[in-house]
Structure 1
Amino acid sequence: MSLRNAYLLVFIVLLVDQISKIYVKTNFILGEEVEVFNWFKIHFIENEGMAWGTQIPGAYGKLVLTLFRLVAVGGIGYWLWDSVERKHSSNYLIVAIALILAGAFGNIVDSVFYGVIFDDSSSQLATLFSSEPYGRYFHGKVVDMFYFPFWSGNLPQWLPIWGGRDFTFFNAIFNVADVAISTGVGILIVFNKKAFHKH
């Protein structure tokens, strides 16, 4: 795959990611949910940290996380360029890196810019390019919306640890960028030998 096509894939994923986030952010109030099917819902939340809401504690935790993401994206971008330029990398590897880069970059856009271009979503529909933004640069919240609660119920008492508790499978809420990252990592795992095969 050429570098141009790899960048085109990154651009398409990033565009879809940002369109979906801006649509949800400007048409849903925080916590609002729309049922598409009984196993698929659009549920608007904002994530202040890493995956599953993980956060770095402290006053500068969010800034540290955003700066780390920027460095990581720079490294992934170089990995993509290097893999294409050396002309020995498989398309599996190039597609996987492009997807991971697009996903990481998509969530960085939220972290860097959303705090200064949107107002608060907790009790109103957010306004794009608001005159009263909810935060500042590098302190934005990542928008998540895809929710697939395939099964909800009470687990049997005989199960160790979780027995008798309410349980939902699958209870993570995520976005297009997260899907791209997960797909890229999945390609590297499932097609490991093909991805890292050298011609």
Structure 2
Amino acid sequence: MSKKNLAILTILIAIILDQIIKIYVKTHFALGEEVVVFDWFILHFTENNGMAMGFEFGGKAGKLFLTLFRLVAVCGIIYWLTQTIKRKVNNAVIIAISLIFSGAVGNIIDSVFYGVIFDSSEHKVATLFSDNPYGTIFHGKVVDMFYFPLWQGVLPDWIPFVGGEFFTFFQYIFNPADAFISVGVALLFIFSKQAFPKEEKKIEA
């Protein structure tokens, strides 16, 4: 398989999988509803109205700025991917950049379109293609559902600042797109020499 086809296949599979899972959760869970798969793995439906890990800024204007920034970033990733495909690099690098691109696009789809194709999930299951959408274009909320509370307990008192407090690891709720970005970054770190080759210096006679 050519590197170009590998990138296209990775992107298509990742984006489709991301959206299938998000749409399923959105149309089968009310906001805050959860299913305990294992003690350490919970499907918990929440929505992120801002940046990663739930940070928000600037209200609607900030949300619009964030979405537009993501669109610009995606254009940069496309250029990076096309330039990388031209080089003879490990396929893992192609997959890594493709996953990062897919994750960014997956969350952009939520931000751009979900506000106009879904109604509210407050206290009920949302309807796809509703006549009463909860938002406007570019102001949709990102759907999150994966929660891995691998350890919960009170931290030892000797730990500075947080000692004696109840702590959950891992406390953040994320979605497939976030996972794709994280895996892509991890692969780039592992294959950093192939992803970011150093230019050889020419020795002058």
Could you state the TM-score of these two structures normalised by the residue count of structure 1?
Answer: 0.95
Cα distance in structure 2, aligned partners of 1:109 and 1:25: 14
Q: Cα distance, 1:92 vs. partner?
A: 2.6
**1:148 maps onto 2:148 in alignment:** yes
Cα distance in structure 1, aligned partners of 2:87 and 2:157: 56
| Preserved contact between residue 47 and residue 53 of structure 1 (Cα < 8 Å) | yes
Runs of 4+ in 1 over 4 A off after TM superposition: none
1:166 maps to which residue?
Answer: 166
Higher mean Cα deviation, 114-123 or 149-158? 149-158
1:20-49 deviation per Cα after TM superposition (whole angstroms, max 9, x unaligned)? 000000000101111000110000000011
Cα distance in structure 2, aligned partners of 1:194 and 1:136: 42
Cα distance in structure 1, aligned partners of 2:168 and 2:111: 28
Amino acid in the other structure paired with 2:98: A
Amino acid in the other structure paired with 2:52: A
Aligned runs of 1:3-152 on 2, under 5 Å?
3-84=4-85, 86-152=86-152
* Structure 1 unmatched runs, 5+: none
- The count of residues paired between Structure 1 and Structure 2 equals 197
1:51-78 deviation per Cα after TM superposition (whole angstroms, max 9, x unaligned)? 1012232440000000001111111112
Higher mean Cα deviation, 88-97 or 22-31? 88-97
| Preserved contact between residue 116 and residue 134 of structure 1 (Cα < 8 Å) | yes
1:78-126 deviation per Cα after TM superposition (whole angstroms, max 9, x unaligned)? 2111211x23333232111100000000000000000000000011100
| Preserved contact between residue 89 and residue 196 of structure 1 (Cα < 8 Å) | no
Equivalent pairs: percent with the same residue?
Answer: 59
* Structure 2 unmatched runs, 5+: 199-205
Q: Cα distance, 1:186 vs. partner?
A: 0.7
Could you state the TM-score of these two structures normalised by the residue count of structure 2?
Answer: 0.92
1:160-195 deviation per Cα after TM superposition (whole angstroms, max 9, x unaligned)? 111110100111110110010001111111221133
Cα distance in structure 2, aligned partners of 1:58 and 1:181: 25
Who wins on radius of gyration, i.e. which is larger?
2
| Preserved contact between residue 93 and residue 196 of structure 1 (Cα < 8 Å) | no
1:181 maps to which residue?
Answer: 181
Cα distance in structure 1, aligned partners of 2:92 and 2:54: 30
Amino acid in the other structure paired with 2:56: Q
SS of 2:58's equivalent in the other structure is coil
Cα distance in structure 2, aligned partners of 1:35 and 1:94: 35
